[in-house]
Amino acid sequence: MPKAHQGPIQRSSSSTDPLTTPNHPNVLKRNQVRCFVVNMSLLLVNASDCIGLPSVPEKKAIAETTITPTDGPKSKYERLENRISELEALLRQKENRELSIPSTTPPIINQPSPSTAPMNSTSQSQQPQPSPYSSGELTPTLSLPIPSPQAPFPSSFPSSEAHVSASSISAASNSIPLDIIWPNWPPNLPGPELLRHLIDVFFTFHPHANRLFHVPTFMNSITYGPNHPKFPCTAILHAICAIGSLYTGAVTSPPLPDFDKISPDEIFLEKYRVKEQRPDSFAEQQAKLAREMVDRLNVLGQELFEVFQANIILTWFYWSHGRWVDVFLNSGNCVRLSIPLGLNMCPPFHSISKAERPPSIVPPARTVIEDETRRNAFWLAYALERHCGMNNGWAMCLDDQDISQLLPVQGDQFESGTLVYPWQRQWAHTGNLLLTHPEGQIDSFILYIKATILISRVKAFNTRFRARLHAGDSSVTNSESEDHDPRGSPAFIELDHITSSFRSSFPSHLRNPIMDNVVDNHLYTACLVPYVAAIVLHDPHADVRRSGCISALKILTAARAILDMIYSIWSTSFDITLLDTFCSFAWFTAGRVLVRFLQAAIDAAGQDQIATLRAEVEFVHSAVLKLGQRIPIAYRFSKMLQEHLTKTCGETFSSADQSSFTRQTDINAAGSLVPFNQANYPTNQGNTLRAVYGSVEIGMVPQENTIFGNVIETYDGLRSRKCGFVKGEVTLQIQHCLLTKRGVQLHEIDTVLSHEQALGQCQDFLDTHLPNASRVKTSSTAAAAQAILTTPGNCAAICSKVFRHTDNYTRFYVVVRDRETQLPVGPHRAKSQALIRLWISPPPQPPSGTRPQKGVIQYLASSGLSVSRIDRRPSDDSLPFRDVYFVEVASPTEIIEEPDLSQGSPAIRSWTAEVENAIELMRKMGGEVDNIGLW
């Protein structure tokens, strides 16, 4: 380990220099560093010869800046701190060989190396041996390095979810020579490597992380030891661990509730949780630890602003998981705590009363960054409480009139610590705040906060209207109506004007949240909010059965504007599960409005409107369900929307798009296999597989097209252990047409919408006739046809009879719930095909003199089966570069499923037995094999 030579420290000869006092704390501080360096030197001298140690470099003098008598003690102390940091940096320098010192102390931190492999690296040459340090359940043995504060941040990840297991993290790097061992590491925190990984994914994927914290400052603080005063508050780290579980497979998250037994709108989920016989997941453990630490620090009056930040993160976690009781209590606690911290006001707008307590019980901010971090934290707590409160009619915990705070600065100014004076900024109480946006003091996050203020005003109007009317408030009185219709009151008219004008007031460069396939998360949410506000404002007064109702028109227009925004983000490669949690509520709100109009259309027997509204509702539902793949509250919203649709419109209208090719196959081609039932067909490929396993018995999924190849969604669904069982196949000839709005000519079309398969099948036609038109993917051809009704511009949808080739066919699998489920056909239908699922891990480098691990070819060759096709997809588990193969095997002749011995035919082979024997043979060879189809 390199050692640092202690050079002479130049001091003034003045006897008044405090550093000449032996007991001065700065002297003691430096002595501690010297002792640490000496101890490390002794460690090198006395180490056992069996331990490979790096060579000791030449002693290097560290020059120190002369401390003049005019420097104050604080300045000298800061300089000494800088010298200490330099010494610590020298001690963390990297060597080419690993130093392994046996110890029973669990947590270790590997110091940075420029050549350190990324966390998800799988290069065998970079795989280290397992760490000798072990720890408890919450501190697994890991070896992920903590980079230096100068390292680029945030880290880049190959996908929105880091599928990392504890074992894969432990093999992250072996090029780190020196380990700092923290004997006082907090016992309930995960090990430093896993902690760093969770911090990384939090800052990389959570939309608000880089506003709640100043990232470089925070990342620098985690390089200090746990006892260092700059080390992050433990409550914050526990909270980050809890919410970080949403973005990684390295730790466990709580399972979804069983909504077949529990209402998706249930508030008190904890009464069901206590009946579950399962231990807390990692995320739940960390959330409880954060809660306990927050409560303790609160009563002790310590680290109160850090407690405030931890509370915000905890509320994000609770909201993501739909824990309504915790959300309500914690979000209210956040904004209430901001008041004694003095975060809701800023000088000179403090109270004029003479009170014993100061405006703030925390010391003033020392830097611009610290001041703006506090301001950002307040606005995030404010937004959190307002957004969580939109699904109820309860009062807020902090009145808007009690907020006299500056709006945040722009993101680049926050990161650089630029001082922006108050007269250059807007206050929360600034006149015409929501429609005026000063140049140089507006960005997507500021618009996000303004949008939250707008929706807060709308909710406050609805909550207080009756009380204000009773008190004789002229702003809510409608002089032209005797029935007290709020829509004629000055306050309502003003809010309606702001709501309808808010998005159009955005600066030109901030009007589109999606630019070049890049989504601005804050701006996307800010664009959604005014439409939600319009629905909340007008929904109580909308009569959807009356054609002349202005409020009904307003909420329908707003709902379809939200639908347009779903279409827009759906057409990009952005992972929509990373959107702000409020987006799931906004989409759900739009879905409920469309269900109201669907019910009215059903009552009026308007077939055209029924088809349109039904497709819109189904698309919104599928989008919310996709959000629910990561965010549990979105999954609850999808269940709530489905339940609302069923109760309002009946079971018949809980099914899928009518005109997708999957549904055509159900109706037209599967009659010989499956009796058609109008009400039992789910929405799309992924939903079909899940529905077959859980709620229906038979379904259709597209498997392959003769032009565009495999249907990826189907094979992704077949990776699941609960994918159903293939019992047949059907082939459908595919034809397309180009559908446009009335009057749009072919040369005027600028956008073509359809499913990815349809776009690929018609690629030649589009390249020839519409080479400049943009191509937008939708969930199905039916959804594309519906989308052109609400999509602005000259767009078109691909439906049928646009040919790339005349031999355009799609093959569909007939999927049943399980192997025992029979199709409604004769008992001895001929069978000669099977679908086998085989998992293959990447072969490790074999030791010298040994044979390599078996591959898919070796397994299949030994089975004796005739292979007709092989398809491969990456596995959906946490193991890196593990593949799952889908192998179709066929017999040269059709074989009766069960031998009929009564007819004297004992020689007839059983196809099932032949397939099962082959699978059993592959399992004996060490393969992980399943039979998922037989027909």
Same domain flag for 789 and 875: no
Find the range with the poorest average confidence among 488-502, 794-808, 862-876.
Answer: 794-808
How many alpha carbons lie under 13 Å from residue 760 in its C-beta half-sphere? Answer: 13
Which of 596, 622, 653 is the endpoint of a domain? Answer: 653
97 backbone dihedrals φ, ψ, rounded to 5°? -120, 150
Same domain flag for 596 and 685: no
Same domain flag for 647 and 666: no
User: What is the pLDDT averaged over residues 694-700?
Assistant: 69
Sign (positive or negative) of CA dihedral 304, 305, 309, 311 = positive
Contact present, 699 and 724 (Cβ < 8 Å)? yes
Average pLDDT, the chain: 77
User: What is the pLDDT averaged over residues 629-636?
Assistant: 94
**Which two tokens mark 312?**
């915000």
Q: Which helix (H) or strand (E) holds 731?
A: strand 725-733
Residue 61's DSSP bridge partners are 5
Same domain flag for 666 and 610: no
| The pLDDT of residue 143 | 36
Q: Can you tell me which residue has the tokens 């509320």?
A: 315
What tens digit of pLDDT does each residue of 100-143 get?
A: 333 333 343 333 333 333 333 333 333 333 333 233 333 333 33
Same domain flag for 649 and 665: no
Nearest to 319 by CA among 337, 331, 306: 331
| The pLDDT of residue 420 | 95
In angstroms, the CA 403 to CA 388 distance is: 19
Same domain flag for 601 and 686: no
Q: Does any domain span residue 752?
A: yes
Same domain flag for 547 and 675: no
**pLDDT band of 490, cuts 50, 70, 90:** very high
| The pLDDT of residue 69 | 42
What tens digit of pLDDT does each residue of 10-46 get?
A: 433 333 444 344 444 444 444 444 444 434 443 343 4
In angstroms, the CA 218 to CA 200 distance is: 11
| The pLDDT of residue 341 | 95
Which of 27-31, 51-55, 608-612, 905-909 shows the highest mean pLDDT?
608-612
Residue type for position 560 = R
Q: Does any domain span residue 350?
A: no
Nearest to 336 by CA among 391, 399, 405, 292: 399
In angstroms, the CA 85 to CA 599 distance is: 68
Contact present, 736 and 800 (Cβ < 8 Å)? yes
Task: Give Dmax (Cα) for the chain.
Answer: 117
User: What is the pLDDT averaged over residues 469-477?
Assistant: 89
Residue type for position 814 = V
- Coil vs helix vs strand at 543: coil
Sign (positive or negative) of CA dihedral 434, 440, 443, 448 = negative
Sign (positive or negative) of CA dihedral 413, 415, 416, 420 = positive
Other CB atoms within 10 A of residue 32 CB: 11
In angstroms, the CA 262 to CA 639 distance is: 11
731 pLDDT more than 90:
no
User: What is the pLDDT averaged over residues 553-559?
Assistant: 96
4 to each of 31, 47, 63, 94, 160, how far by Cα in Å? 14, 19, 11, 14, 43
91 or 370: which carries more pLDDT confidence? 370
Find the range with the poorest average confidence among 341-355, 479-493, 522-536, 886-900.
Answer: 886-900
Same domain flag for 526 and 635: yes
Interhelix angle 490-501/444-470, rounded to 10 degrees, is: 160
916 pLDDT more than 80:
yes
| The pLDDT of residue 160 | 44
886 backbone dihedrals φ, ψ, rounded to 5°? -110, 115
Residues 6+ positions from 898 with CB-CB distance below 8 Å: 828, 910, 912
What tens digit of pLDDT does each residue of 495-509 get?
A: 999 999 999 999 999
Find the range with the poorest average confidence among 140-144, 217-221, 650-654.
Answer: 140-144
Torsion angle of C-alpha atoms 592, 593, 594, 596, degrees rounded to 10 = 90
542 or 695: which carries more pLDDT confidence? 542
**Which two tokens mark 276?**
């579950």
| The pLDDT of residue 668 | 43
- The secondary structure of the chain in percent helix, strand, coil, rounded to multiples of 5, reads 45, 10, 45
| The pLDDT of residue 76 | 64
What tens digit of pLDDT does each residue of 152-182 get?
A: 333 333 344 444 444 444 434 333 444 556 6
Q: Please give the share of the chain, as a percent, with pLDDT higher than 90.
A: 41
448 or 98: which carries more pLDDT confidence? 448
Report the CATH number that the domain containing residue 702 is assigned in CATH.
Answer: 3.40.190.10
Interhelix angle 581-603/521-538, rounded to 10 degrees, is: 40
Report the CATH number that the domain containing residue 869 is assigned in CATH.
Answer: 3.30.70.260
In angstroms, the CA 425 to CA 430 distance is: 10
What tens digit of pLDDT does each residue of 509-519 get?
A: 999 999 988 99
| The pLDDT of residue 740 | 84
**pLDDT band of 654, cuts 50, 70, 90:** low
| The pLDDT of residue 671 | 42
Which of 74-88, 155-169, 444-458, 898-912 shows the highest mean pLDDT?
444-458
Residues in the chain: 935
Same domain flag for 621 and 764: no
Angle (nearest 5°) at CA 211 between 210 and 213: 70
What tens digit of pLDDT does each residue of 378-393 get?
A: 999 999 999 999 988 8
| The pLDDT of residue 546 | 87
| The pLDDT of residue 198 | 96
| The pLDDT of residue 536 | 97
Question: What range defines the domain where residue 480 resides?
Answer: 431-653
Which of 622, 653, 684 is the endpoint of a domain? Answer: 653
**pLDDT band of 607, cuts 50, 70, 90:** confident
| The pLDDT of residue 211 | 97
What tens digit of pLDDT does each residue of 69-79 get?
A: 444 555 666 66
Say if residue 490 is preceded by a cis peptide, omega within 30 of 0: no
**Which two tokens mark 819?**
């192997």
In angstroms, the CA 494 to CA 474 distance is: 14
**pLDDT band of 412, cuts 50, 70, 90:** very high
| The pLDDT of residue 106 | 38
716 pLDDT more than 90:
no
In angstroms, the CA 591 to CA 559 distance is: 7
Strands 709-710 and 725-733: unpaired
Other CB atoms within 10 A of residue 215 CB: 17
Which of 607, 634, 653 is the endpoint of a domain? Answer: 653
Residue type for position 467 = A
In angstroms, the CA 472 to CA 82 distance is: 65
Contact present, 162 and 119 (Cβ < 8 Å)? yes
Residue type for position 89 = A
231 pLDDT more than 60:
yes
Give CA 688 to chain center in angstroms. Answer: 24
| The pLDDT of residue 166 | 41
Residue 849's DSSP bridge partners are none
**Which two tokens mark 779?**
């969930």
Contact present, 728 and 933 (Cβ < 8 Å)? no
In angstroms, the CA 95 to CA 112 distance is: 11
51 or 317: which carries more pLDDT confidence? 317
457 pLDDT more than 50:
yes
Q: Which helix (H) or strand (E) holds 378?
A: helix 368-388
Same domain flag for 684 and 746: yes
Residues 6+ positions from 308 with CB-CB distance below 8 Å: 334, 337, 338, 341, 343, 377, 381
Q: Does any domain span residue 156?
A: no
Q: Does any domain span residue 557?
A: yes
Q: Does any domain span residue 424?
A: no
User: What is the pLDDT averaged over residues 442-451?
Assistant: 97
Q: Can you tell me which residue has the tokens 């559908």?
A: 739
Q: Does any domain span residue 477?
A: yes
Same domain flag for 626 and 720: no
| The pLDDT of residue 236 | 97
User: What is the pLDDT averaged over residues 344-363?
Assistant: 89
Q: Does any domain span residue 313?
A: no
In angstroms, the CA 231 to CA 222 distance is: 6
| The pLDDT of residue 677 | 38
Strands 830-840 and 928-934: antiparallel
User: What is the pLDDT averaged over residues 476-481?
Assistant: 73
Q: What is the 3-state secondary structure (H, E, C) of 120-179?
A: CCCCHHHCCCCCCCCCCCCCCCCCCCCCCCCCCCCCCCCCCCECCCHHHHHCCCCCCCCE
**Which two tokens mark 6?**
């202690």
Same domain flag for 675 and 636: no
**Which two tokens mark 893?**
């002749």
In angstroms, the CA 330 to CA 295 distance is: 11
Q: Does any domain span residue 928?
A: yes
85 to each of 30, 56, 224, how far by Cα in Å? 11, 20, 10
273 pLDDT more than 60:
yes
N-term to C-term CA, the chain? 67
What tens digit of pLDDT does each residue of 571-606 get?
A: 888 999 999 999 999 999 999 999 999 999 999 888
Split into its structural domains, the chain has a count of 4
Contact present, 390 and 459 (Cβ < 8 Å)? yes
User: What is the pLDDT averaged over residues 845-858?
Assistant: 62
| The pLDDT of residue 626 | 92
Contact present, 815 and 727 (Cβ < 8 Å)? yes
DSSP code string of 764-792: HHHHHH-TTSEEEEESSHHHHHHHTTTS-
